[in-house]
């Protein structure tokens, strides 16, 4: 986002927040229950909370933690959350089951990477080199020959963005049948990180801050596929609002979106300022400050607010899910996105 565009976002965001504060006056703050997963892509929420931007806009933001997008979707469908910050693909499934939910902003992009250890990492350079399809196919074949079994790769549950991207990378990017070349283990985020560190799996598809934590704890870890390798423009965490046209949403939707976009910009331009809030939210204050700052700096260039920027990639991944039998039919991707709310704030 350019400086001039961001300036307009901030001005409109302040107008929206001021309007909400004026409406709140002596009445109770609008309660917004936000489901999220504990990754760097959810950091705009932590900034909004730490900076008191939501509270100052008359919003009582209640963060509800989940371990995967599909878990958060269950709460969304049952009416237990009002907004959602996690992967975008499960939202298509939610709409297929009748949920009224719209993506109003993007957050992190190209955030997922595949890391490897042991025989799967043998010979890889310390810095990601961008393996070609022939090299990837040979690496999986060599592993099976040496180990006598397929590599185990930890992901999140079937239908999640990590699971789908892993399968997409194997099949579309490298011409491999996921069912034939890897045992994909669908577990939650924390369990995937721990399984990799414990040597229970040979690879994992993970996000920050897990990637930085693993780099420091396991020097022999190697990146098998970067976020760009997995899919250029890879869609990551998004902000979605449930029943956005309901009358009660008018009291907070625009101010919440403006605050989220403002926080996303801060993460992209001044990640060190966001560190205390992210450290408290993701590590309970226990993760070293240097780890969080490193993870934020690595992620900074991937923060993109405009939801229109990820629509094509979402369409490609949904088509892949349908072709793979993970989805019964394709949903209209455009119907999932509310581009106008973002445009009104950004113009």
pTM tops 0.85: yes
- The string of pLDDT tens digits covering residues 64-76 is 999 888 889 999 9
Is the domain of 223 the same as that of 136? yes
The predicted structure's pLDDT at residue 202: 98
Instruction: Give the residue with greater pLDDT, 107 vs 1.
Output: 107
Element (H, E) at 5: helix 3-24
| Bridge partners of residue 223, in order along the sequence | 115
Is the domain of 121 the same as that of 188? yes
β-strands 222-225, 203-206 pairing: unpaired
C-alpha gyration radius of the chain: 20
- The string of pLDDT tens digits covering residues 306-337 is 999 999 999 999 999 999 888 888 889 999 99
The predicted structure's pLDDT at residue 62: 97
Q: How confident is the model at residue 8 (pLDDT cuts 50, 70, 90)?
A: low
Residue 238 lies in a domain: yes
CA 297 to chain centre: 16
| Mean pLDDT calculated for residue range 17-43 | 72
Residue 22 lies in a domain: no
Report how far residue 125's alpha carbon sits from residue 128's, in angstroms, rounded to the nearest whole number: 7
Is the domain of 104 the same as that of 173? no
Cis peptide, bond prior to residue 209, ω within 30 of zero: yes
The predicted structure's pLDDT at residue 12: 53
Position 23 pLDDT exceeds 80: no
Given the structure tokens 């900034």, which residue do they identify? 47
- The string of pLDDT tens digits covering residues 155-213 is 999 888 999 999 999 999 999 999 999 999 999 999 999 999 999 999 999 999 999 99
Report how far residue 16's alpha carbon sits from residue 252's, in angstroms, rounded to the nearest whole number: 9
Is the domain of 141 the same as that of 170? yes
Is the domain of 163 the same as that of 187? yes
What CA–CA distances, in Å, run from 94 to 70, 73, 75, 87, 303?
A: 9, 7, 11, 12, 25
Report how far residue 313's alpha carbon sits from residue 199's, in angstroms, rounded to the nearest whole number: 33
Is the domain of 188 the same as that of 44? no
Q: Which CATH number fits the domain that encloses residue 328?
A: 3.40.190.10
The predicted structure's pLDDT at residue 285: 73
Closest CA to 276 of 259, 294, 292: 292
β-strands 30-36, 59-65 pairing: parallel
Please state, as a whole number, how many other Cβ atoms lie within 10 Å of the Cβ of residue 21: 15
Quick check: 83 and 100 in contact, CB under 8 A? no
Is the domain of 105 the same as that of 245? yes
Residue 15 lies in a domain: no
Residue 148 lies in a domain: yes
Is the domain of 282 the same as that of 242? yes
Position 117 pLDDT exceeds 80: yes
Residue 7 lies in a domain: no
The predicted structure's pLDDT at residue 159: 84
- The string of pLDDT tens digits covering residues 285-310 is 788 999 999 999 999 988 999 999 99
Position 20 pLDDT exceeds 90: no
The predicted structure's pLDDT at residue 283: 77
Helix (H, G, I), strand (E, B) or coil at 182: coil
Report how far residue 35's alpha carbon sits from residue 168's, in angstroms, rounded to the nearest whole number: 26
Quick check: 34 and 62 in contact, CB under 8 A? yes
Identify the domain boundary among 199, 230, 261. 230
Ramachandran region, residue 312 (left: φ > 0; alpha: ψ -120 to 50; beta: rest): alpha
Report how far residue 207's alpha carbon sits from residue 140's, in angstroms, rounded to the nearest whole number: 22
Residue 253 lies in a domain: yes
Is the domain of 195 the same as that of 128? yes
Average pLDDT, rounded, for the chain: 90
Is the domain of 224 the same as that of 120? yes
Count of structural domains within the chain = 2
Position 145 pLDDT exceeds 70: yes
Position 16 pLDDT exceeds 50: no
Residue 14 lies in a domain: no
In this structure, what are the phi and psi dihedrals at residue 103, rounded to the nearest 5 degrees? Answer: -80, 125
Identify the domain boundary among 196, 211, 230. 230
Q: How confident is the model at residue 129 (pLDDT cuts 50, 70, 90)?
A: confident
Instruction: Give the residue with greater pLDDT, 25 vs 322.
Output: 322
- The string of pLDDT tens digits covering residues 212-262 is 999 999 999 999 999 999 999 999 999 999 999 999 998 899 999 999 999
Is the domain of 318 the same as that of 178? no
The predicted structure's pLDDT at residue 331: 86
Residue 222's domain comprises 112-230
Identify the domain boundary among 211, 230, 249. 230
Report how far residue 255's alpha carbon sits from residue 32's, in angstroms, rounded to the nearest whole number: 12
What CA–CA distances, in Å, run from 273 to 236, 276, 292?
A: 22, 7, 11
Is the domain of 83 the same as that of 168? no
Residue 34 lies in a domain: yes
């Amino acid at each position: 986002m350019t400086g001039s565009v961001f300036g307009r976002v901030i001005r409109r965001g302040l107008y929206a927040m001021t309007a909400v504060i004026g409406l709140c006056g002596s009445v109770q703050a609008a309660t917004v229950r936000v489901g999220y997963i504990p990754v760097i892509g959810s950091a705009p929420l932590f900034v909004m909370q730490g900076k008191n931007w939501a509270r100052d806009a008359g919003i009582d933001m209640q963060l509800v933690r989940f371990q995967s997008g599909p878990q958060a979707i269950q709460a969304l469908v049952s009416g237990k959350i009002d907004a959602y910050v996690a992967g975008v693909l499960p939202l298509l499934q939610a709409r297929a089951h009748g949920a009224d939910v719209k993506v109003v902003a993007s957050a992190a992009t190209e955030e997922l990477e595949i890391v490897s250890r042991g025989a799967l990492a043998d010979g890889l350079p310390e810095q990601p080199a961008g393996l070609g399809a022939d090299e990837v196919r040979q690496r999986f074949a060599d592993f099976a020959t040496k180990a006598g079994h397929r590599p185990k790769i930890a992901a999140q549950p079937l239908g999640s963005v990590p699971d789908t991207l892993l399968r997409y990378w194997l099949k579309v990017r490298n011409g491999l049948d996921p069912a034939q070349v890897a045992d994909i283990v669908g577990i939650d985020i924390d369990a995937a990180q721990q399984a990799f560190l414990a040597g229970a799996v040979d690879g994992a598809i993970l996000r920050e801050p897990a990637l930085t934590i693993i780099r420091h704890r396991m020097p022999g870890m190697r990146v098998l596929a970067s976020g760009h390798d997995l899919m250029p423009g890879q869609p990551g965490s998004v902000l979605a609002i449930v029943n956005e046209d309901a009358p009660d949403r008018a009291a907070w939707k625009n101010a919440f979106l403006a605050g989220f976009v403002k926080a996303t910009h801060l993460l992209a331009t001044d990640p060190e300022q966001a560190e205390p809030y992210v450290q408290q939210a993701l590590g309970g204050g226990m993760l070293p400050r240097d780890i969080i700052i490193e993870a934020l700096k690595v992620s900074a260039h991937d923060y993109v607010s405009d939801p229109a920027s990820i629509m094509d990639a979402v369409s490609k991944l949904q088509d892949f899910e349908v072709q793979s039998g993970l989805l019964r039919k394709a949903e209209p991707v455009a119907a999932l996105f509310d581009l106008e709310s973002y445009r009104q704030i950004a113009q």
